[in-house]
Structure formats: structure tokens, C-alpha cells
Chains A and B, each alone.
Chain A
Amino acid sequence: MIEVENLRKTYSGFTAVEGSTFSVPEGEVFGVIGPNGAGKTTTLKMLAGLVEPTGGTARVAGYDAQNPEMRKHLGFLPEESPLYEDMTAVSYLQFFADLYDVPTAAARERIHDTLDRLDLEHRERPIGDMSKGMTRKVAIARSLVNDPEVLIYDEPASGLDPLTTNYIIEFTRELAESGKTVVFSAHNLFHVESICDRVAVMNDGRIVARGSVENIREEHGQTEYRVYTTVEVEGSVKENGHYRRTVESMDAVEETRELAASAGGEVADIQTHTPSLEDIFLDLAEDSPDVEGRP
């Protein structure tokens, strides 16, 4: 459904995105994560046809992303969605339905159905009088007004309270389950981990890791062993009355035990730690190795 090949974007000598390549099959939820300025939003906007790539290609729903026809098959939700405050939710959505050539009756039914699913009340109230969460729901409803095959959501739950955030994440999951292809970025990696089939980790405009969460964890998130000793050994730090030395293999655990013994102490505890996506992300963001996980 989405094919991205060597996508590149530069602004007056500054490279925002460099050589991004990935594909998203139909019905998949694809997450794009990375620190601020990593190139996530630029990538999503190139997919949405808003930003013209400097190089490479992006195809969405069978169309080049720059082809206006593609927009009919796309629902885009920008990170910030300031709407027209003086319009009501229904009139706002009806306006966009008209632009997407949705027949009036079908549009009305779809609008109310979507707002029902989003549990949005006060539909005839001016958008300016709504809370941020309600406004976000209207923006999500707008992205669905044309019943698109592809959804591109940039930080869909940005700045919302936990309750609304969970609601929107669940709603996104439902959309994916209904067969829509979803690409979305998020800062909250827990959400990404919980609903994404695959992710791409971006840093400095490049994709530094790509694949399923499990694969990435396997590839980049090596299991750690935290060995707690009663005496200080080389490379250890004091923690809760003991000395912690973090190592990555059982051989290193044995070596630590020997070091502690030679210093007149012993191993008090050994803990195994499997890194979360966030740990991997932070690690990759620091090192930015240009490596990829298995697709």
C-alpha cells in the first residue's frame, strides 16, 4: 500500500530526510519513531504529498505521493490540528466531505457514525468551544470523512490527557483491524509498541532501525545482566548498598564474580534485564548506527 524508496528531502543545504526506504503492506500499522528533528514529520508529509521530495519516490495507494489523485485515498492527521473555531464540528466535516466528493447523504451518515464511534457530543457546538481532546477527535473524524484506505497520523495523541490518549490509540487500533493501513508517529513508545506491527526508528534524517518490534529488540536490544557485588570491582557503580556492574554475557558475569572474589567479596545478586523499545530508541538515538533490523 505504501512504497518508499530512497526518499530524500533537503532545505537550503540542510538535509531533513536522507535515503529513507520502507514499505507498508495493506492493513498494517507502521510506526515511525525518533527524537525531535529526526525527520519523522517530514517523512509523513512527503507521504501525504504535502512536501515535495528532493529525491527518491513515495507511492501511496498505487499513486505517486505528489499525484493529487492519491489524496482521495488518504486520511492525514497533522501533529497540530487547529481547526476553524467558528464552525461546528458537523459543518466542518461536511465541508471536507464535499471537497472529497462524498455524496451529501452518505457524508452525513458517515460523519455522525464516526462521531458516534469517537463518542463526541455537542456536534453543533462551535469548535472553538471544544476541549483539546474533542478538537482532536474532530480532526480524526475529518481524516476519515472520505473513508480512506491509508491513514497517516502524526502524533495523534500529542498533548492529550491519558484517558483521551488511550481512547485514540484504541480507536487507531480498531481502524487498523478494519483493514486500513496506518502510518503513525508517536513520542510515547509504549503506544507504538502496543499497536504497531512494525516500526522505523529515525535519527538525523535517516532510518537507523526498521522491522517488527521483536526483531528490533532482538537485533539492537541485547539482554543485560546486572551483577550486584559486595565489594567494588572495575566498572561498577554503587547502588542500594551494593556495587552494580552491567554486562552482556554470561562470561562477563563469571568474570565479575572472579573479580569480586579476588577483592574479598562476593556476588550478592544477578538480574536479567530485557530492554524496552524506549531503551533501544535512546541507545540508537545516541549512537545513530546506520543499521537495519530484519524486515
Chain B
Amino acid sequence: MNLRKVLRIARWEVSKNAGQLDRRAIAVGLVVLLAVGALTPMVAQRGVTLDDGIYQVGVSPESPYYEPVAQDPTFAPVDPKGTLSTGEVGPNPKADVVVCTEEMVRCAPGEVVWDDTRKGKAALAEFRKTVKQYNDLLMSRESNQTAAFPVEVSLRYEEQTGLNPAGASGSSAARTTREGEERLGGGQSGGTGSPGATTAPGGSAGSGTGDGSSGSDGPMQAPSVGSGGGSLFGGNARGGTPSDIAPPFPFESLVLAFAFVLPMNFVIQAYASTILDERINERGELLLVSPVSRGDIIAGKTLPYLLGMTAIASITAVGIAILTPAAEGATAVASTAAASVSAVVPIALLFLASAFVGGMFARSFKELTFVTVTLSVFLTSYAFVPAIFTNVHPVAAISPLTLVVKALRGTAFSLGEYAFSTGPLYLSAGVLFALGAGVYREEDMFTQRPVPLKFLDALDSQISGRRSMVKLSALSIPFVFVGELLAVALLFALPVSLSMPVLLVAIALVEEVAKSVHVYAGFAHDRFERTLRSAATLGFLSGLGFFLGEKATAVAQLVGLPNLELGRAAFGTVTGLGVETSPLVLLGLLFAPLALHTVTTTITAAGATRDRNWYAGTLVVATLVHAAYNLTVVSYLG
């Protein structure tokens, strides 16, 4: 690869596309950027406050309730007094909740009344919660913490399945500490045990729990982020009453993490368009005939978009790290930003690689839109859904976005976690670029064929002989891994009795397609003789390649994902995890997958020698055989 020419093409790509933007588009783009730039810090600093001022609370400044109401942006304090139909002074009818004053009739001073509507009841519930939190805060500021929180309970947070996250030590059987201990009631971090302090003075609002002793060392969960006085991402260090403990859902973190992914969806549209633009009317032919390799062309055209994505991610990361520091200091900000960006880059690469392939396969801009939107949804789901379960469930380790959330929350992640989350993405991006590059030539680039046929063309471009089957099967592993992880992510919430069989079939299908589709592409392009002998040879080679590549998935052990029941179903057949038997049997089990893969791929290869329908039929048969094998392993050995 010639770096000078790559950079020249990159510069040309920028200047060429800059000319396509008129002033109006630039203005709109700037407005959008400014809006994102303004909103992101706001979200980072204040969290998502869609409910600002949603409830009106009638409370006088002299009331002890005024302070908590005024501090909570959910409420808008208003004059508590209103005029009744009789002309007397009563609760303000416009307020959702009113704290009565002495002037009011039909309402005792200090009593809390509310509008008898759904909104009024919701306002009352929120009012109670706010008052309770306010009281907790006051208690935490007491100089005598022992008096404020006479009972101290140590909490140990544990994973639902008793697993360690990536990099943590300990056996899978042990239910171990997740992120260190949290302290309820007292302690240096300022506990917020609330011994019934929120009882309303003479009103119905008082509902303090008064139960500071209910903490246990059972499977408690992480405190909710951003509630109360803790920092947005450093909130784990605060204490709280047991009733404060809510299912962890790092919403703000995810919103911010989404801020990393969102711009990518726009960038890939532009990128895919420029790729397709080269194919329209054979425009890119002149580049192909110039003394640069297609690798130079692709790298040059991709570089500006990758740099753009990285720049956006860097700015976002630095902005968030400055505004909501998990730790103080420029070094901490830089390290948080660097960690976040390092996790975002493989996502950006995969987005670009997918868009590149989409641009190479689509026949028109209309078709490209469909392809890129589908890719956006799929990739965003893959990155985003598992990250919701950051620090909750090991399935979160799948997504690099989890690393971003961790980085923003000031939680370190290990190299093993990084490799596990990003490895499949790096590899998938590489393979996708290679596939697209395979058809980045005059003969394929300018032909108008349906996307599936283009995909077969791309696979065929990578075939140079029978041995290519080994290579292509091995290279399919990242996609298999991504597909299986996605299946795990989508199914793990369902009951095991339901999710397990579905998963076993899904995994079998993914693997059978991955092993056989290039064999089919080879037959479809008349690369191989259409005989059963040829099918058997190709089936064996493809199965062998898959078997060898599959061993790479042993990296799954790094994070303990296979210990999850679904993870075991997904990867157990690969690694033989959980099997406790003699070495001879283990050896047999090690090579059993080889037999499985070669046999099932030979079945599909036999179908591929005929036509598409035969291929589809044999694919079903191979999938069922494979699923039966998986079921056997899970049932008797796993």
C-alpha cells in the first residue's frame, strides 16, 4: 500500500465531496452539530430531564417542603393559595400537589393535598420520593453519622448468575463480589438511611420506611445512577437505604454512549453513497486504470470517514469526561476519553466496512438506503442492547459500548475484555472490507446484479481453488461469533426452556450457512466440478477450516460468558467447557466437532452441486443434524 497515494486519494475524497455541499446543507449540518454539541453536555451534566417542571406544587417559601421542591427540577413551585367558589382561600386548583397554609379553609396547615387525578397521584408519589431523598441527604450531612445511621449493613453485589465480569478472578461456582462493597447506613460515603424522616407533618405524604436494617448480602444490585447526590458516573460510591436500591440501569451512560454511535449512522450514509457513486456510470473506472492499487483506492476513500468518526468520538469523549469526570485531573480525562475512543473505533470500522459492502452490492441509491438502514439498525442493536446490562449481566461483555460505559463511569476494563468485545468487530470489519475489495474491479463493480448475487460474486472473488474453502470458513468465524452473540443477547432474557432450543437451532443455522455459502458460491460460478466427490472434498475442507477457526472462540473463556447457560450452549460445543471426563473422551470430544462440521458441510455441498433449491433443502437437513448434535452436547455433556 502506497501511503502517499492513499493520503492523496483521501484528500481528493474530501475536496470532491466538499463541492457537493451547498450552503444550505452546510448550514443545516452546522445547526445539527451545534444542537448535538449543546445537548450532549447537558445530558452529561444533568441527565435526561424530560420531566422538568412537569408537576406544579403549591408550597410557600416558609414551608419546610419548599426547599426539596425547589431543588427538584421535576417540580415547579407555585403559590399554594387559591380562591374557592365560596370566595374563601383554599388550595390552588392549578397545582397538582398543595402544602396547606394557615390561611386556607378545609385544609390543616402543613397537610398535603393533591388533585384527584392520575397526574395528581403521580405528582404526590414523586413528591414523597423527593422529600424522602431530601431527608436522606440531610441525614447524610449530620456530623454524627453513627447517630444518623445506627445500623450499618455491608452489601456485596453479585451477578445474577454468580459470574465474574471479564477479567475478574474466581471460579465460576463462586458468587463473588462484583465491584467491591457498598455500604448502607453510615460509612464515609455518606449513607442515606432514612429512619422514617419523611413522615409528612400531619399529612398523608409521610411514608418513610424507617427501615435501615433491611440490607442483606443477598443478590443486591448496583444503585441506580444519578439519583441523589452522587456524580453521574461516579455514583456507585454512595450509600442508600434498601428502598433506594433500584435495578441498575445506567440510562444516562447509555444515552451518552449512544451519542458515540448516533453520528456513525449519518457518516456511513455519506460513505456508502460515495462508494456507490464510483459505480454509477462506471465513474470509478478511471481510478482503476491509474497506477494505484484497489487497496489504495479503498483505504483512501475510507480514511476521511474513519478519521471523521474518530474525531467526533474523541470530541464527545473529551466533552463528557470534562463535564462529568469519573476522576479529577487532565490525565484522568485523557485516559477516560482514550479508553472510550479505543472502544468506539472498532464499531466505527465495522459500520464503515458494512457500508462499504452495501455500497458495493447495491444497484441504486434506493437499494443502498435500504441496505444501510438495515445495517444501521442491526449494528446499533448489536452495540447498544448488550450495553444496557453493563455491570448487571455478563452478556454486556459482547458490546464495545459496554467498555465505553465503563470508561465513562470510571471503571477500568482489562485487555481481555477489550479483546473479547472488539476482536470480533475488528475481524468482521477486515473480512467485510476484503469481500468488498474482491469485487472492487471493473468486471464486478459496474454490473447490476441483485444483492445476494453480488454477495456470491464477492465470495467467488476470494476463491482461488479448493483450499480457499479452508480460508473462507475460518474467516467466517467472526461473523458466526457476532451472529451467535447477537442470538444470545436477544434470547438470554427468555426462560431457558424456551430460549435454549431456539438458540441451538439458530446457532446451527448460522454455522451451517457460514460453512457452506462460499461452497455454494463456488459451484454457482462453475469453479468446481459438480460431482459428489467434489462436494465431499469441498465439504471436508470447509468443515476443517471452520473447525480450526472455531478454536479461536476459546477467547470466550476470558470473560466467563460460556459459563452462562446460554453462553455454554453457544460456545460449549466449541470449547468443550463443562465437560469433566477422561482425557480419551475429551480427545474424542475435541475432534467430534470436526466430524460434525465436515459431515454437515458435505451435506450442503452436495445440495450446492445441483441448484439453489437443493442447496436450501440440504441446508435445512444439515442444520437439523447440527442442532441435534448441539442438543446432545448440552444435554449430556454440558
Contacts and interface: CB of A to CB of B under 8 A. Distances in A.
Interface of chain B: mostly helix, strand, loop or mixed = helix
A45 interface: yes
A50 B285 CA distance: 8
A72 interface: yes
B119 interface: no
A28 B111 CA distance: 106
A240 to B, nearest CB: 48
B291 A72 contact: yes
B290 A71 contact: yes
A95 B289 contact: no
Contact of A86 (B16, B291, B293): B16
Interface string A17-45: 00000000000000000000000000001
Contacts of A76: 286, 289
B283 interface: yes
A78 B285 contact: yes
Contacts of B292: 99
Contact of B289 (A12, A48, A80): A48
Given A82-B280, A95-B12, A69 B286 contact: no
B526 interface: yes
B8 A99 contact: yes
Given A12-B525, A99-B5, A78 B290 contact: no
B291 A82 contact: no
A82 B283 contact: yes
B20 A96 contact: no
Interface string B359-398: 0000000000000000000000000000000000000000
Given A86-B16, A87-B19, A95-B8, A49 B283 contact: no
B282 interface: yes
For the side of the interface on B, what is the size category? 20 to 34
A160 to B, nearest CB: 17
A78 B281 CA distance: 11
B310 to A, nearest CB: 25
Nearest to B524: A12
B443 A51 contact: yes
B280 A51 contact: no
Interface in A151-199: none
B143 interface: no
B281 A91 contact: no
Nearest to A152: B289
B42 interface: no
Contacts of B217: none
A101 to B, nearest CB: 8
A86 B274 CA distance: 13
A244 interface: no
A52 interface: yes
A83 interface: yes
Interface string A43-70: 0010011111000000000000000110
Interface string B1-17: 00001001100100111
Contacts of A51: 442-443
Contact of A142 (B19, B282, B286): B286
A82 B282 contact: yes
Given A12-B525, A78-B282, A95-B12, A86 B289 contact: no
B290 A100 contact: yes
A98 interface: yes
A81 interface: yes
Contacts of B283: 82-84
Nearest to A101: B291
Contacts of A142: 286
B288 interface: yes
Contacts of B15: 87, 91
A97 to B, nearest CB: 10
Interface in A79-136: 80-84, 86-87, 91, 95-96, 98-101, 126
A143 to B, nearest CB: 9
A80 B293 contact: no
Interface in B267-296: 280-283, 285-293
A100 B442 contact: no
Nearest to A98: B8
Contacts of A83: 283, 286
A66 to B, nearest CB: 11
Contact of A52 (B291, B293, B443, B525): B443
Contact of B16 (A50, A52, A87): A87
A7 to B, nearest CB: 15
A86 B20 contact: yes
Given A83-B283, A87-B16, A45 B442 contact: yes
B442 A50 contact: yes
A96 B292 CA distance: 10
A100 B441 CA distance: 19
Contacts of A72: 291
A103 to B, nearest CB: 13
B16 A71 contact: no
B299 to A, nearest CB: 14
A11 B442 CA distance: 13
A51 B441 CA distance: 8
Nearest to A91: B15
Among B9, B286, B287, B288: residue with most chain A CB under 10 A? B286
Contacts of B281: 80, 82
Given A87-B19, A95-B8, A99-B5, A80 B282 contact: yes
Contact of A50 (B288, B291, B293): B288
A68 B291 contact: yes
A240 B290 CA distance: 58
A141 B222 CA distance: 68
Given A81-B286, A83-B283, A71 B443 contact: no
A74 interface: yes
A69 B285 contact: no
Contacts of A71: 289-291
Contacts of B443: 11, 51-52
Contacts of A98: 5, 8
A13 B288 CA distance: 25
Contacts of B20: 86
Nearest to B296: A99
Given A50-B442, A82-B281, A99 B291 contact: yes
Contacts of A100: 290-291
A142 B286 CA distance: 9
Contact of A96 (B16, B17, B282, B286): B286
The 4 closest A-B pairs by CB, nearest first: A86-B19, A50-B442, A82-B281, A71-B291
Given A87-B19, A99-B287, 13 more contacts: A12-B526, A50-B442, A72-B291, A76-B286, A78-B286, A80-B282, A82-B283, A84-B16, A87-B16, A98-B8, A99-B8, A101-B291, A139-B286
19 contacts: A11-B443, A13-B526, A45-B442, A48-B289, A50-B285, A50-B288, A51-B442, A71-B289, A74-B289, A80-B282, A81-B286, A82-B281, A82-B282, A83-B283, A91-B15, A99-B287, A101-B291, A139-B286, A142-B286
